[in-house]
Structure 1
Amino acid sequence: MPLSELIYPRNIPMGARTEVPRPSEFGLSDFEDLTIPTPDGESLSAFLIRPSNKQFARNITILMFHGNAGNIGHRIPIARALEGNSGCNVLMLQYRGYGLSTGTPDEKGLTIDAQTGLDYIRQRAGLRGTKILVYGQSLGGAVSIGLVARNQAQGDIAGMILENTFLSIRKLIPSAFPPAKYLAPLCHQIWSSEDVLPLITKAPILFLSGLKDEIVPPTHMKQLYDLCRAEPKIWKELPNGSHNDTVAEPSYFQYIEEFIRNYVE
């Protein structure tokens, strides 16, 4: 099996990959179902979710990058909690090759996708001029780190949230996929967050670490925190959080709300 198959799973039938739950299935009504073109000719599906409580809406847009399994439809409950607890807009971007987005995922392509999502916020009426908070889980954390590092000089990224992400794919493979450990040096999908994260100095960062993560060793998150040069940097542990359910741990959204209130808005 090619290493790209391990990093971006392709074992879901094409028909199943197009089954993307919609926000309306989770009780959300103020949303848009978007198709956003990329500079290299792909089409990315996305959901733009607006705060349901207009009275407490903030001038903040969360750009949300998901992990490598499933699609944005499976993360709608997270987006619903984010807009409900924080009063922020949420743009859920779906990488190429996932859900209804066209193309095939790889590091170069996802890098283009992330920039496309950020540029959409910068250009879209109603979002243009809002503070931007980048949020990434697992693979989405690596996507977020690269995006913020490339764009921090423009001054509109007000913060970043990282959950259960890794130092690099090469360092992740020996623990996540032990049979492939000797092939790790040959992996062309690098996502070297440990090298890129120290370049970020102009945006506060919240680290959310599930200490029972069975896929990304929690030591990866701790090392990223230690390498981080941004100020402030905030460390929060979720003691019983595994890779996919850290978001369900008590205090998860409380930590995010505190971060937004104290460092973003």
Structure 2
Amino acid sequence: MSSLGQLVAGVAHEINNPVNFIYGNLSYTSEYTQNLLKMLQLYQKEYPQPSARIVNAREDFEIDYLIEDLPKILASMKVGADRIRDIVLSLRTFSRLDEAEKKQVDIHEGLESTLLILQNRLKHKADHPTINVIKEYGTLPLVECYPGQLNQVFMNLLSNALDALDMEMKKSDRTAKNLAITIRTQVTDNNSVAIWIADSGPGMSEDVKKRLFDPFFTTKPIGKGTGLGLAISHSIIVEKHGGKLSCNSVLGEGSEFAIEIPLRQKIN
């Protein structure tokens, strides 16, 4: 988990500078392009009967199409740059390596950054439909926690939920069951925050549930899982945050993981 955080932080740092360079110059490029196009249009207005050489060049270069399409291309590039900046921000929020100590954070911000990183697995593809993410967020205060480690727990649980939905899609007898992940949050009566992450996958048997948090236990094929993710997540929640991590699952009806951590950590 620590290595994953370091890798993510490193990637975000390396991407951030060139993206900021591109983003910062797009506004100038757009302004210069608009000025050039205005000058071109002014020439067309002042010299409505150009020479044959200019007419031929205008047709060869498809100037009328260029005038229409170039601003659209620049706008599309800005949308792409905005998207990359959002992803970099989410990567940095996810890793939070500069926040190794306890800090008061917005839990929903951590969930959203993790979802954005996993967006490619959620959206519609040729081999599987869109996976719906249902958010039932309560009103939460800032929560004192170790944000980098907590975000890694979110990543693990959401990745496992997606793996479960992949298994559901591959079932030969699969019905028209909706593929969805539901995330709920609320403050509990005992000054804690609760986060539930549920999937509409195949669920688990009682035998699997009993061994769920055992190190190296996995139901995934060889090479697909180490069996350490849930064990480490359990340690982060229980030992590091003094909280609880549990699972409620019925075979054939999906699974739900429940996280509960105090709003304020005890002073060591």
User: Is the TM value for this pair above 0.5?
Assistant: no
TM-score where L is the length of structure 1? 0.27
| Greater C-alpha radius of gyration | 2
TM-score where L is the length of structure 2? 0.27
Whose helix fraction is larger, Structure 1's or Structure 2's?
Answer: 2
